[in-house]
Structure 1
Amino acid sequence: MTASADVPVPRRGPKLEPLLLSPDERVVLERWARRPSSAQAVALRARIVLACAGADVPPIVVVARELRIAADTVRKWRRRFLAARLDGLVDEPRPGRPPTISVDQVEAVVISTLEEIPKNAT
């Protein structure tokens, strides 16, 4: 027998801690989920947290099915949000050699390339 959208899915495993959002957090998450310029990974994480939010905790498998992702993905981002709130949803620094050129230097080069005309240009 399969569970339909009308029949509640029995919860297996440990009881989940409610994921309650402040009004400010909800606004930020909704903006991240909607905005087309957001990285798609961050937008998905925001949708996961919004789907899990509330005093009545939805089962992880239901959230995963609605968003068409793996239940482990929902568990991971739900857990990270509970541990670090909004900061837990952004990418952590990657290992490896640190950049030798700062972001400000890159920005200055791009701006000068786009806005300045070279001396010998027509």
Structure 2
Amino acid sequence: MHARGSGPRVMMTRQPTEGRSRNGGLRVGEMERDCLIAYGASMLIYERLMISSDPFEVQVCRKCGLLGYYNYKLKTGICSMCKNGENISTMKLPYACKLLIQELQSMNIVPRLKLAES
């Protein structure tokens, strides 16, 4: 039997390591995710993919939809494209999603996040 509460993580993706020999966690893949969606277990998916894995807080510009950054001197979020902090919202994404967005931007594909007021 193999299970763990917390343990080592991969540096690049911040997700749990694989395999019992490396004290890795049991991972939820795409097929397992699809099964959980089919059974309507949305809170379990949220817990496994966000809370237990790799939550990351990002700043998103409501005007252009691009990721920004947090300026610790000014204590505010700043958009990378607009160069101001007026229309910045903070949200939580899985770190792997943020990494995917940055890799697409490096290939000159610019995904934009459309935020709705809640």
TM-score with structure 1 setting the length: 0.22
Q: Which has the higher strand share?
A: 2
Report the structure number with the largest CA radius of gyration: 1
**TM-score with structure 2 length normalisation?**
0.22
